[in-house]
Amino acid sequence: MNNAEMPFLSAATLGELIHKKEISPVEATTAYLDRITAVDGKLHSYITVCREEALQTAREAEQAIIRGDWRGPLHGVPFAVKDQFWTEGLRTTGGSRLLAEFTPTEDATVVARLRGAGGTLLGKLNMSEFATGNSVYHPFGTPHNPWDLDRNAGTSSSGSGAATAAFLCATSLGEDTGGSIRNPANNCGLVGLRPTWGLVSRYGMLGACWSMDIGGPISRTVEDCALTLQAIAGYDAHDPYTENRAVPDYRGGLTNTTKGLRLGVVKEAMDADFVHPQVKAAVSKAVADLNAQGLSVEQVSIPLLTSAAAVTRAILAVESASLHHEWLRTRLHEYDHQVQIDFLTGAIMPAQLYYKAQKLRTLIRRQVFDVLQKVDVLALPSSSEPAPLLPQGSGLKSKDDARQRMSGRRSLTGVFNLANVPALSLPCGFMAVAGKELPIGLQLAGRPFNDGLLLRVAYAYEQATPWHTRRPPI
Partner 1 sequence: MADLSIDEITSLARAVGLQLPEALLAEVGHNLNALRELIDEVQASGLEQIEPLPIIPPHERSPHE
Do residues 300 and 264 touch, judged by C-beta distance below 8 A? yes
Q: What's the gap between Cα 382 and its chain centre? A: 12
Catalytic residue among 45, 156, 160, 172: 156
Neighbours of 243 (CB within 10 A): 15
Interacting residue with partner 1 among 362, 369, 374, 389 (CB under 8 A)? 362
- The nearest distance, CB 264 to partner 1, in angstroms, is 21
Counted residue by residue, the chain has a size of: 474
Mask 371-400, x = binds partner 1 (CB under 8 A)?
Answer: ------------------------xxxxxx
Q: Is 345 in the site for partner 1 (CB under 8 A)?
A: yes
Pairing label, strands 120-125, 78-82: parallel
Question: Which amino acid belongs to residue 322?
Answer: S
Give how far Cα 441 sits from Cα of 71, 372, 393, Å.
Answer: 33, 21, 27
Reply yes or no: is the peptide bond before residue 156 cis, omega within 30 of 0: yes
Pairing label, strands 171-175, 78-82: parallel
Interacting residue with partner 1 among 2, 244, 373, 392 (CB under 8 A)? 244
- The nearest distance, CB 396 to partner 1, in angstroms, is 4
Interacting residue with partner 1 among 13, 56, 142, 340 (CB under 8 A)? 340
Q: Is 35 in the site for partner 1 (CB under 8 A)?
A: no
- The nearest distance, CB 311 to partner 1, in angstroms, is 7
Rounded Cα–Cα distance for residues 14 and 10 (Å): 6
Site for partner 1 in 309-338 (CB under 8 A): 310-311, 313-314, 317, 325, 328-329, 332
Interacting residue with partner 1 among 128, 155, 177, 307 (CB under 8 A)? 307
Q: Is 301 in the site for partner 1 (CB under 8 A)?
A: no
Residue 165: name the closest of 138, 148, 190 by CA. Answer: 190
Q: Which is nearer to partner 1, 350 or 466 (CB)?
A: 350
> In degrees rounded to 5, what are phi and psi of residue 370?
-60, -45
Q: Which is nearer to partner 1, 110 or 357 (CB)?
A: 357
Rounded Cα–Cα distance for residues 114 and 61 (Å): 13
Q: Which is nearer to partner 1, 97 or 365 (CB)?
A: 365
Q: Is 403 in the site for partner 1 (CB under 8 A)?
A: yes
Catalytic residue among 10, 24, 82, 158: 82
Q: Which is nearer to partner 1, 64 or 98 (CB)?
A: 98
> In degrees rounded to 5, what are phi and psi of residue 88?
-60, 125
Q: Is 68 in the site for partner 1 (CB under 8 A)?
A: no
- Three-state SS for 373-442 is HHCCEEEEECCCCCCCECCCCCCCCCHHHHHHHCCCCHHHHHHHHHHCCCEEEEEEEEEEECCEEEEEEE
Cβ neighbours of residue 180 under 8 Å, at least 6 residues apart?
Answer: 128, 131, 133, 154, 155, 156, 157, 174
3-state helix, strand, coil in the chain (%, to 5): 45, 15, 40
Interacting residue with partner 1 among 4, 353, 389, 432 (CB under 8 A)? 353
Q: Is 359 in the site for partner 1 (CB under 8 A)?
A: yes
Interacting residue with partner 1 among 26, 304, 444, 460 (CB under 8 A)? 304
Q: Which is nearer to partner 1, 21 or 325 (CB)?
A: 325
* 82 part of the active site: yes
Side-by-side strand order, sheet with 377-381:
46-49, 120-125, 78-82, 171-175, 215-219, 191-194, 423-433, 436-446, 377-381, 262-266, 296-300
Residue 204: name the closest of 87, 123, 102 by CA. Answer: 87
* 10 part of the active site: no
Q: Is 198 in the site for partner 1 (CB under 8 A)?
A: yes
Q: Is 456 in the site for partner 1 (CB under 8 A)?
A: no
Q: Which is nearer to partner 1, 82 or 447 (CB)?
A: 447
Q: Which is nearer to partner 1, 134 or 155 (CB)?
A: 134
Q: Is 101 in the site for partner 1 (CB under 8 A)?
A: no
- The nearest distance, CB 226 to partner 1, in angstroms, is 24
Rounded Cα–Cα distance for residues 352 and 303 (Å): 23
Catalytic residue among 180, 201, 320, 384: 180
Q: Which is nearer to partner 1, 142 or 345 (CB)?
A: 345
Q: Which is nearer to partner 1, 156 or 186 (CB)?
A: 156
Rounded Cα–Cα distance for residues 266 and 299 (Å): 6
Which residues are identified as catalytic?
Answer: 82, 156, 180
**Contacting residues toward partner 1, per CB under 8 A:** 198, 211, 240-244, 304, 307, 310-311, 313-314, 317, 325, 328-329, 332, 340-342, 344-345, 347-350, 353, 355-363, 365, 395-403, 406-407
